[in-house]
Amino acid sequence: MPVLLTTDVLIFLLFALAVGFGVYAARHEHLRAPWRSVVRSPVGVAALVVICFYVGIGLLDSLHFHPRIEPPSVIAAAADAGGTGEEAAPTARYSTQVLSVLDLWLTGLRERQEKTFSAPFATHLFVKEAIEQPDGSVLRAYPRLAHGGAHLADPAQRNRDVMLRGLLGLVKGLMAWTVLAVLLVGLLAWRRGESFSAVGEALWHGRLSAHTAGDGRSDDPSDMGSEGAPGDGIPWRVALLTLGLMLVLCFIAAELAATYHILGTDKVGEDVFYQSLKSIRTGLVIGTLTTLVMLPAAVILGIMAGYFRGLTDDIIQYLYTTLSSIPGVLLIAAAILMLQVYMTNNAEQFDSLVQRADLRLLFLCLILGVTSWTGLCRLLRGESLKLRSADYVQAATALGVRNSTIIGRHILPNVLHIVMITVVLDFSGLVLAEAVLSYVNIGVDPTMNSWGNMINSARLELARDPIVWWSLAAAFVFMFTLVLAANLFADVVRDAFDPRLRSAR
Amino acid sequence: MSAYLIRRLFYALPILIGVNLITFVLFFVLNSPDDMARMQLGDKRVTQAAVDSWKAEHGYDQPLLFNADAPGLGAFTETIFFQKSVKLFAFDFGSSDSGRDIGYDISQRMWPSLAIALPVLLVGLAINISYALMIIFFRATYIDWGSVVLLVAMMSISGLFYIIGGQFLIGKLFHLVPISGYDTGPQATKFLILPVIVGVIGGIGSGTRLYRTFFLEEINRDYVRTAHAKGLRERVVLFRHVLRNALIPILTGVVAVLPLLFMGALITESFFGVPGLGSYTIDAINRQDFAIVRAMVFLGSVLYILGLILTDLSYTLVDPRVRLS
């Protein structure tokens, strides 16, 4: 039975918006041209591929449902091979648990819990326990893990096994990549009406020339290289290389995660790799929904302030100066504290813990949006002030066009690029902010998987000796990859849309 | 100048009133003091008597806006709004929910915060400016490119990791300085080294990148071309012309954050156990001490507005072309 959490709805709304905007941008040259230069930049393309992987996981994790519980009697009846004809199954019962499609996919990871900490690829628990020997004596030693490397008869074979499985994953990843690459080349060949081998060679050639020119961003050599590539100047070889790298990593991880805890387990024995994957959605939600919820207010108020001037301007300026003068962290803290008070006093309104955590996440997005819309509002106000005196706006006013029409037709399309740059630029900062806020306990719900919560709980274990480092490392790697990709992408987008804005930040 | 200052201070007043109203609505209207009392007392089945006594103890037992029972002006002064919000304007913060005088605590805890924030700001400024200048000196080479990549990578690391990494490397591995704690007087230095280093390193990424853009903007100006054409050496151009002009946006940016230094660094202080205002705030948040959070919100906005005014003033000082009107 599907469950629609509020953030899910918003995420898919956002996704639809993004797609719709993409279609809109493709029809308008002034928006298409900058995007074209974005996808022509090797850095931008590589970052985009990485982001796509994250977004894919996040979307999968946003399809929630209540799993169906098979009543034991039905299973027993099914085992009977249906002799009695008891086909009229009792009304389907659903568990109160809320799962996502990603959970379903990662069922193995989710259910293979250990007792407590274990290091990455470990076959034994991280802490000593009293083990009862077959002969009745009790030995204090590191017990074998229930799942990690349980298939090995002799733990000493572990390294060989890991290597073999890694290789298998590598081969599988390369195979998947080859299939995709062949499809892409085929598609390009079909579109360009050239032979498959010619396109393939040109693409390969482009890649080779990039190698000889040094793997630099050094715009000139890579631009020259992309000239050799087929298509419309899109650096396909960079895209394919990044894709290949990500695919290979994914397949190796998948292959190894089937039998090991590749990033170890945490204090309650949960797989850290699973946690990291689940945290992706939280990070993405914070990074994108925050801007989504603040956009309407910022855009409408910003344009109104700049366009109408006078009293409207004064009021709106007062509003955003007041809001921005409250230190962001404190405003968030105050709001979240109030939410907590509300939630403890009205606990009966929430059906499940998941819903409660979800509402808190949404509220966090809202309040983060409140603290971050002022910057965009100020930028839009300035830009509308400038546009207001543009000739075509003056002409429209003189012809008696209504204000709303002028704003919709002349002002809004001309400030869209600022909106877009802000959305992209804010993303990475918000992902980082989530970690810090969760550390102060004013972030997402403690029951929710997030990198901030991972860091927070891992921090307490740093004092152990030997040190428990894997939770931190996992959160670090996952976060760093996403934020770095987002930062690089944002740079490219900003440069493409408006080099002048570089100084505004 | 003084007329301008006075006018700016008057402009600040409505903003502070707005901040006050927002916090009032957040803390008292959305949730009644009863809710707060129940939360503090912790149990679902608290008796109304217990709630009432908690409220009376902490001064939340008055009506919100208008006290019909009180005579004369008391109708307005003996209310939560007056007692808890209006009094903030006189910097009378009242006492925290645990009974301590907030004003006294703030005045005590301000200094450790400053002892960390000021060195971080100054050392960070020096390092960021020199690094950005170096990048500019080697602009359009691989040093430039590599540095930008490094800066973006440094920006992409959460501040938490700098703190954890710093504590682990310097404190635990090399045992150079204590991991956390604080002391009064000169002994405090050894406790300050690590937070300052971590703070500076954590700020290099975004700071240097920003300054690099400032420098880049200046270096494309006409006067730089003239200076080059005159035959000035690169060093002279950079230090005498570019640096001085780029310092204008840098300094005004710094002035804006100067007052906020008193607020301290939230995360750094609580990680390193420094008894500053940052850890004070975090403790208050964790203890759900609303009185302190309210006081800090107000103090923060006062300092922010002060920063805005100082920025405007500093513009006139460093750039004679700007006139206050």
Tokens 């389907």 belong to: A92
Supply A56's token pair. Answer: 């894919």
Residues B36 and B167 in one domain: no
pLDDT score of A209: 40
The answer to whether residue B178 sits within a structural domain is yes
Q: Say how far apart CA A416 and CA A431 lie, in whole Å.
A: 23
| Residue A498 main-chain phi, psi, to 5 deg | -160, 95
Task: Indicate yes or no: CB of B282 within 8 angstroms of CB of A440.
Answer: yes
Residue where a domain terminates, one of A225, A257, A289: A257
B75 pLDDT band, cuts 50/70/90, is low
Q: Tell me, yes or no, if B260 comes closer than 8 A to chain A by beta carbon.
A: yes
B325 pLDDT band, cuts 50/70/90, is low
Task: Indicate yes or no: CB of A439 within 8 angstroms of CB of B267.
Answer: yes
Give residue A168's domain range.
156-257
Query: What's the mean pLDDT in A289-316?
Result: 89
Residues A320 and A466 in one domain: yes
Q: Tell me, yes or no, if B309 comes closer than 8 A to chain A by beta carbon.
A: no
Task: Indicate yes or no: CB of B22 within 8 angstroms of CB of A323.
Answer: yes
Which of 203-232 (B) contact A at CB < 8 A?
210, 213-214, 217
CB atoms within 10 A of CB A113: 16
CATH number, domain containing residue B239: 1.10.3720.10
Give the pLDDT confidence of A137-173 residue by residue, as tens digits: 777 777 777 777 777 777 777 788 888 888 888 898 8
Residue pair A284/A58 in contact by the 8 Å Cβ criterion: yes
Residues A310 and A335 in one domain: yes
Residues A358 and A224 in one domain: no
Residues A226 and A339 in one domain: no
Residues B74 and B152 in one domain: no
Amino acid at B141: T
Supply A277's token pair. Answer: 């994957």
**pLDDT surpassing 70 at residue A207:** no
The answer to whether residue B97 sits within a structural domain is no
**pLDDT surpassing 60 at residue B58:** yes
pLDDT score of B150: 92
Residues A182 and A282 in one domain: no
pLDDT score of A70: 65
User: Using a CB-CB distance cutoff of 8 angstroms, which residues of chain A are in contact with residue B210?
Assistant: 505
User: Using a CB-CB distance cutoff of 8 angstroms, which residues of chain B are in contact with residue A342?
Assistant: 30-31, 35
The answer to whether residue B71 sits within a structural domain is yes
The answer to whether residue A463 sits within a structural domain is yes
User: Using a CB-CB distance cutoff of 8 angstroms, which residues of chain B are in contact with residue A221?
Assistant: none
Q: Is the peptide bond before A466 cis (omega within 30 degrees of 0)?
A: yes
Q: What is the dihedral of CA B238, B239, B244, B250, to 10 degrees?
A: 80
Residues B148 and B35 in one domain: no
The answer to whether residue B98 sits within a structural domain is no
User: Using a CB-CB distance cutoff of 8 angstroms, which residues of chain B are in contact with residue A333?
Assistant: 281, 285, 293
Task: Indicate yes or no: CB of A487 within 8 angstroms of CB of B152.
Answer: yes
A498 pLDDT band, cuts 50/70/90, is low
Supply B82's token pair. Answer: 């007056």
Point out the least confidently predicted range of A85-94, A436-445, A474-483, B258-267: A85-94
Say how far residue A491 (Cα) sits from the centre of its chain: 18
Nearest to A263 by CA among A251, A252, A276: A276
Chain B closest-CA separation from residue A83 CA (Å) = 54
Residues A240 and A370 in one domain: no
Residues B86 and B114 in one domain: no
CB atoms within 10 A of CB A64: 20
User: Using a CB-CB distance cutoff of 8 angstroms, which residues of chain A are in contact with residue B161?
Assistant: 455, 472, 476
Query: What's the mean pLDDT in B86-102?
Result: 76
Residues B13 and B82 in one domain: yes
Task: Indicate yes or no: CB of A338 within 8 angstroms of CB of B260.
Answer: no
Residues A248 and A367 in one domain: no
The answer to whether residue A124 sits within a structural domain is no
Residue pair A377/A298 in contact by the 8 Å Cβ criterion: yes
Residues A426 and A380 in one domain: yes
A389 burial (CB, 10 Å; 0-12 / 13-18 / 19+) is exposed
pLDDT score of A81: 47
Direct distance between the N- and C-terminal alpha carbons of chain B, in angstroms, rounded to an integer: 9
Residue where a domain terminates, one of A231, A257, A283: A257
- Best probe of the A interface among B215, B301, B303, B306, by most A CBs < 10 A, is B301
Q: In chain A, how many domains are there?
A: 2
- Best probe of the B interface among A318, A321, A489, A500, by most B CBs < 10 A, is A321
The answer to whether residue A266 sits within a structural domain is no
**Cβ density class A219-254: b for 16+ within 10 Å, e for less:** eebbeebbebbbbeebbbbbbbbbbbebbbebbbbb
Task: Indicate yes or no: CB of A487 within 8 angstroms of CB of B297.
Answer: no
Sign of CA dihedral A41, A42, A44, A48: positive
* pTM attached to this predicted model: 0.84
Residues B124 and B183 in one domain: yes
Chain B closest-CA separation from residue A205 CA (Å) = 25
Residue where a domain terminates, one of A200, A235, A257: A257
Task: Indicate yes or no: CB of A472 within 8 angstroms of CB of B19.
Answer: no
The answer to whether residue B323 sits within a structural domain is no
Residue pair B63/B79 in contact by the 8 Å Cβ criterion: yes
CATH number, domain containing residue A295: 1.10.3720.10
Residues B246 and B292 in one domain: yes
Computed on alpha carbons and rounded to an integer, the radius of gyration of chain B in Å comes to 25
Residues B132 and B46 in one domain: no
pLDDT score of A396: 92
Task: Indicate yes or no: CB of B213 within 8 angstroms of CB of A502.
Answer: yes
Query: What's the mean pLDDT in A487-503?
Result: 74
Point out the least confidently predicted range of A20-34, A68-82, A290-304: A68-82
Give residue B21's domain range.
2-90
Q: Tell me, yes or no, if B286 comes closer than 8 A to chain A by beta carbon.
A: yes
Query: What's the mean pLDDT in A426-451?
Result: 85
- Best probe of the A interface among B26, B160, B169, B221, by most A CBs < 10 A, is B160
Residues B157 and B299 in one domain: yes
Residues A334 and A480 in one domain: yes
Q: In chain B, how many domains are there?
A: 2
pLDDT score of A480: 92
B122 pLDDT band, cuts 50/70/90, is very high
Q: Say how far apart CA A398 and CA A210 lie, in whole Å.
A: 55
Computed on alpha carbons and rounded to an integer, the radius of gyration of chain A in Å comes to 27
Residue where a domain terminates, one of B58, B90, B122: B90
Q: Say how far apart CA A77 and CA A86 lie, in whole Å.
A: 8
Residues A496 and A408 in one domain: yes
Residues B308 and B248 in one domain: yes
The ipTM of this complex is 0.83
Q: Tell me, yes or no, if B140 comes closer than 8 A to chain A by beta carbon.
A: no
Residues A327 and A427 in one domain: yes
- Best probe of the A interface among B156, B261, B272, B286, by most A CBs < 10 A, is B156
Give the pLDDT confidence of A18-28 residue by residue, as tens digits: 899 888 888 88
pLDDT score of A88: 46
The answer to whether residue B102 sits within a structural domain is no
pLDDT score of B324: 60
Residues A322 and A415 in one domain: yes
Q: Say how far apart CA B181 and CA B178 lie, in whole Å.
A: 7
Q: Tell me, yes or no, if B305 comes closer than 8 A to chain A by beta carbon.
A: yes
The answer to whether residue B100 sits within a structural domain is no
**pLDDT surpassing 90 at residue B129:** yes
Residue pair B113/B264 in contact by the 8 Å Cβ criterion: yes
Task: Indicate yes or no: CB of B168 within 8 angstroms of CB of A462.
Answer: yes
The answer to whether residue B104 sits within a structural domain is no
Query: What's the mean pLDDT in A196-205?
Result: 75
Task: Indicate yes or no: CB of B36 within 8 angstroms of CB of A472.
Answer: no
Residue where a domain terminates, one of B90, B125, B154: B90
Residues B147 and B11 in one domain: no
Task: Indicate yes or no: CB of A217 within 8 angstroms of CB of B145.
Answer: yes
Supply B85's token pair. Answer: 């919000």
Residues B33 and B169 in one domain: no
Residue where a domain terminates, one of B90, B119, B154: B90
Tokens 């704003």 belong to: A407
